[in-house]
Amino acid sequence: MERISEESGNGNGCFYLEKILADELGDKCGLYARVTVPPGASVGYHQHVGDNESYFFLSGEGVYDDNGVKRAVKSGDATWTPSGASHGVENTGAEDLVFMALIINC
């Protein structure tokens, strides 16, 4: 599992990325991974250009920022960020926020 520090980016703290598939999918997929965001941490707000990203939340609670529109997310929720759009997510709960992230290249 890879530790990603957000202290120098747009987020808070750090999150953990466990790659499931990446190279195996060739040029179609940029990433398929399980992401763990500890309480109080976030995946900073960022834009996607040339790819699309989907999150599927497995556990925990958070606030998802979809192009400036914020909404609560929890287990069972899914998001979609097309190329040209921006997003980020913050863990607002007391336990880890865990989700699957899939980046599909355009």
List the domain boundaries for the chain.
2-105
Task: Determine the Cα–Cα distance for residues 39 and 69; give it in Å rounded to an integer.
Answer: 21
Name the CATH topology of 2-105.
Jelly Rolls (2.60.120)
Q: What is the pLDDT of residues 42-97, one digit of tens each?
A: 999 999 999 999 999 999 999 999 999 999 999 999 999 999 999 999 999 999 99
- Other CB atoms within 10 Å distance of the CB of residue 57: 21
Global pTM reads 0.91
- Other CB atoms within 10 Å distance of the CB of residue 37: 26
